[in-house]
């Protein structure tokens, strides 16, 4: 299910999805914004110890046409994401599935719930935990997990944000679509272990300084995304901003002793140099 062909000699970029979970936070002077970050365990082959958003690679079963679904259709998502319909369905499913696998937050609901009626889905039970682990080891499909409970994936709870492609010089590459979402009422992200050894709600405006000081190691897409969220200031600001989803393949270079992300059109964006920690 590749949507980006690598040149000869470069590994193909694997389709992936990641979700920036957001919540409001009261700050001096008014409402603020927080994003959920996860720290990858240091034994991981890709980005060990880095702070990331929940997400991961697309599974073939994510394209299942029988997946119960509400909100914008896969065809509408294809127009938004710039893909074919099958890939769009798989990306949205992967975004919701991976978020549940890695945080316990499930962007799904029972169909026909009246507007204003409280959402009572509790994904912290033992039965839900068995399903979560079954999704991770691929012994269960997401379609099966939702359909058995009479639930539907709520694609309207997701919003597309950006698309980043790992540079061609890297040995392991991903073509990743970024989404934003808010945890449904009553659902709280949990530290469920696995690929991450810690989770934290973080003010995105504080991320660049923490990155530069070496307290929050992360890859450029995460750093840039946090800066973009910080510019929105609040959840309302995130909801209002207009986003065009175009592929961006960064090229990180050292120029005159400083790190820059160089875009395909030649424009440059400075990156702070992280300090080494003892």
The pLDDT of residue 212: 82
Length of the chain: 278
Give the per-residue pLDDT at 219.
85
The pLDDT value recorded for residue 118 is 63
Is residue 256 situated within a structural domain? no
Evaluate whether residue 252 is within a structural domain.
Answer: no
Q: Is residue 263 part of a domain?
A: no
Residue 65 falls inside a structural domain: yes
- Residue 3, pLDDT > 80, answer no
Tokens matching residue 99: 């978020």
Q: Token pair 């392991």 is at which residue?
A: 172
229 backbone φψ class: left, alpha, beta (φ>0; ψ -120 to 50): alpha
Domain, as residue range, for 146: 14-202
For 162, the 3-state DSSP assignment is strand
Q: pLDDT at position 117, please?
A: 67
Distance, in Å, from the CA atom of 105 to the CA atom of 108, rounded to the nearest integer, reads 9
Q: Is residue 191 part of a domain?
A: yes
The secondary structure of 172-241, three-state, reads CCEEEEEEEECCCCCCCCCCCCCCEEEEEEECHHHHHHHHHCCCCCCCHHHHHHHHHHHHHCCHHHHHHC
Who's near 39: CB < 8 A, 6+ residues apart? 49, 50, 51, 52, 196, 197, 198, 199, 200
How many domains, in total, are found in the chain? 1
pLDDT confidence of residue 260: 79
- Position 156 in a domain: yes
**Cα R_g (the chain), whole angstroms:** 19
What confidence tens digit (pLDDT) does each residue in 127-180 have? 999 999 999 999 999 999 999 999 999 999 999 999 999 888 778 889 999 999
Q: Are 235 and 22 in contact (CB under 8 A)?
A: yes
CATH number at residue 164: 3.90.79.10
- How many CB atoms are located within 10 Å of the residue 94 CB? 26
pTM: 0.88
**pLDDT for position 265:** 61
Question: Which pLDDT band, with edges at 50, 70 and 90, does 273 fall under?
Answer: low
Bridge partners (DSSP) listed for residue 18: 55, 178
Residue 221 lies in a domain: no
With b for 16 or more beta-carbon neighbours within 10 A and e for fewer, the 13-46 pattern comes to bbbbbbbbbbeeeeeeeeebbbbbbbbbeeeeee
pLDDT in tens, 56-115: 999 999 999 999 999 999 999 999 999 999 999 999 999 999 999 999 999 999 887 766
pLDDT digits (tens, 9 = 90+) for 183-236: 998 888 988 877 788 899 999 999 989 988 889 988 888 988 998 999 999 999
pLDDT band at 268 (very low <50, low <70, confident <90, very high): low
Q: Is residue 49 part of a domain?
A: yes
Nearest of 72, 70, 29, 45 to residue 152 by alpha carbon: 70
Percent of the chain with pLDDT over 70: 86
């Amino acid at each position: 299910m590749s949507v980006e062909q690598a040149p000869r000699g470069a590994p193909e970029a694997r389709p992936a999805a990641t979700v920036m979970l957001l919540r409001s936070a009261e700050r001096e002077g008014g409402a603020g914004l927080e994003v959920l970050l996860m720290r990858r365990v240091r034994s991981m082959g890709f980005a060990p110890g880095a702070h990331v958003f929940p997400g991961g690679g697309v599974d073939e079963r994510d394209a299942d046409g029988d997946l119960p679904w509400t909100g914008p259709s896969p065809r509408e998502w294809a127009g938004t994401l710039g893909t074919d319909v099958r890939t769009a369905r798989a990306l949205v499913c992967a975004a919701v599935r991976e978020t549940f696998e890695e945080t316990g937050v499930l962007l799904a609901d029972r169909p026909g719930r009246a507007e204003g009626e409280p959402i009572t889905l509790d994904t912290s039970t033992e039965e839900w935990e068995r399903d979560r682990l079954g999704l991770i080891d691929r012994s269960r499909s997401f379609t099966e997990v939702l359909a058995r409970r009479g639930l539907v994936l709520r694609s309207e709870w997701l919003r597309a944000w950006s698309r980043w492609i790992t540079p061609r010089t890297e040995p392991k590459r991903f073509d990743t679509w970024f989404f934003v979402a808010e945890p449904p009422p009553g659902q709280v992200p949990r530290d469920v272990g696995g690929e991450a050894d810690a989770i934290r709600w973080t003010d995105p405006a504080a991320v660049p300084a923490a990155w530069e000081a070496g307290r929050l190691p992360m890859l450029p897409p995460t750093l840039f995304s946090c800066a973009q969220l910080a510019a929105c200031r609040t959840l309302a600001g995130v909801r209002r901003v207009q986003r065009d989803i175009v592929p961006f393949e960064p090229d990180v270079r050292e120029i005159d002793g400083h790190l820059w992300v160089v875009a395909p059109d030649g424009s440059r964006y400075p990156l702070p140099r992280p300090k080494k920690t003892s």
